[in-house]
C-alpha cells in the first residue's frame, strides 16, 4: 500500500492544492489534523479534506475552531484566528470538523501503525525533543506512528535503546525536492510528514510524505506553492498580519 501522509493544513488552500497535485499515486491519505485554523480558506480546505480517502485525526485547532475545548494555551494571534474561523466555517463544515476522531487511529490495511495529532500518549503533546520522543516510545509500543502538531518535518527513531532525531536533507530553498528514509525492521518510528499549510522548520515549502508499506520507505516531500496568494487571502480577511508573514519565513 502507498499512503500519502499530510498534516497541519491550517486552512491554506494554495498549499493543499499544490501538495495534492504534486503527490505521487497512493491508495490512502492519512490526515493528522489541524485541518483548519490560521489560514483564510477553511471552508474550501474542508471541502477537499472530506473527499480524501483515509482517516483523519483531530488537531487542537480543529477542536478550538469547532467549539470543542477551549483556547487555553493559544496566543493572541492564534486566538484571533480561532474566532475568525468559528465565524467563517459554515454550520455543516463546523459540525464535520467537530466530529473528527480523537487519535490514535490505526493505519488502514497495515498492522503496527497509527496516526495521531500530537503524540501517542496525548493528542495535545508536542514531540519536539528526543527526551519527549523517548517517553512516547516507552509508553506506547506501536512500531510506526505518524504525528503532526509541531509543524517540523522528520521525526525520531528508536533502535538498540537509543533515540535518534531525523531531519530530511534538502539542497535548495525553492525547488520541489524529496528525501527518502528506509525503515529498518529493528527500529520503531515516530514520523512527522511536515506541515502542509504553515511549516515551522525554517522551510516555507509545503511538506508531506509518502509511506510505501511494501518497500518500507518513507519519502519526504517539499513543494513550493503560490505563497503570496495565501498571504493575500489572510490580509484580505483581516486576520493578523503575522500569519501572512510567517508563511514566507517558515517559522
Ligand atoms: Fe498545527
**Ligand 1 centroid to residue 35 C-alpha, Å:** 8
CB contact at 8 A, 97 and 35: yes
pLDDT digits (tens, 9 = 90+) for 115-163: 999 999 999 999 999 999 999 999 999 999 999 999 999 999 999 999 9
CA distance 54 to 50: 10
- Domain spanning 2-249: which superfamily? Metallo-dependent phosphatases (3.60.21.10)
Q: For residue 119, what is the DSSP state?
A: -
Residues with CB under 5 A from ligand 1 (ion): 8, 34
**Ligand 1 centroid to residue 129 C-alpha, Å:** 17
Taking the C-alpha atoms of 141, 145, 149 and 152 in order, what is their torsion angle to the nearest 10 degrees? Answer: 110
Domain boundaries, the chain: 2-249
CA distance 189 to 41: 33
Q: How far is CA 10 from CA 36, 206, 234, in A?
A: 4, 12, 12
**Ligand 1 centroid to residue 75 C-alpha, Å:** 13
**Ligand 1 centroid to residue 185 C-alpha, Å:** 30
**Ligand 1 centroid to residue 30 C-alpha, Å:** 15
**Ligand 1 centroid to residue 251 C-alpha, Å:** 13
Cα 166 from chain centroid (whole Å): 16
What number is the average pLDDT over the span 232-245? 97
Model confidence at 215, in pLDDT bands (50, 70, 90)?
Answer: very high
Show the cell assigned to 91.
454550520
Amino acid at each position: 500500500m502507498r499512503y500519502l501522509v499530510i498534516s497541519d493544513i491550517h486552512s491554506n488552500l494554495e498549499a493543499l492544492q499544490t501538495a495534492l497535485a504534486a503527490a505521487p499515486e497512493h491508495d490512502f491519505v492519512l490526515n493528522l489534523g489541524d485541518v483548519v485554523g490560521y489560514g483564510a480558506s477553511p471552508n474550501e480546505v474542508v471541502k477537499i479534506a472530506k473527499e480524501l480517502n483515509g482517516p483523519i485525526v483531530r488537531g487542537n485547532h480543529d477542536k478550538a475552531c469547532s467549539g470543542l475545548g477551549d483556547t487555553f494555551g493559544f496566543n493572541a494571534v492564534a486566538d484571533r484566528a480561532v474566532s475568525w474561523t468559528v465565524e467563517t466555517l459554515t454550520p455543516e463544515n463546523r459540525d464535520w470538523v467537530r466530529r473528527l476522531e480523537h487519535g490514535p487511529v490505526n493505519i488502514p490495511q497495515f498492522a503496527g501503525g497509527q496516526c495521531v495529532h500530537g503524540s501517542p500518549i496525548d493528542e495535545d503533546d508536542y514531540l519536539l525533543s528526543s527526551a519527549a520522543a523517548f517517553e512516547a516510545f516507552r509508553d506506547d509500543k506501536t512500531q510506526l506512528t505518524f504525528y503532526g502538531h509541531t509543524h517540523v518535518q522528520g521525526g525520531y527513531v528508536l533502535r538498540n535503546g537509543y533515540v535518534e532525531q531525523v531531519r530530511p536533507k534538502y539542497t535548495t530553498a525553492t525547488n520541489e525536492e524529496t528525501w527518502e528514509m528506509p525503515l529498518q525492521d529493528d527500529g520503531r518510528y515516530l514520523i512527522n510528514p511536515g506541515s502542509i499549510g504553515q511549516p515551522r522548520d525554517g522551510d516555507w515549502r509545503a511538506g508531506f510524505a509518502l509511506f510505501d508499506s511494501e518497500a518500507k520507505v518513507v519519502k519526504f516531500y517539499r513543494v513550493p506553492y503560490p505563497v503570496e496568494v495565501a498571504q493575500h487571502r489572510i490580509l484580505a480577511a483581516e486576520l493578523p498580519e503575522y500569519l501572512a508573514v510567517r508563511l514566507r519565513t517558515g517559522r
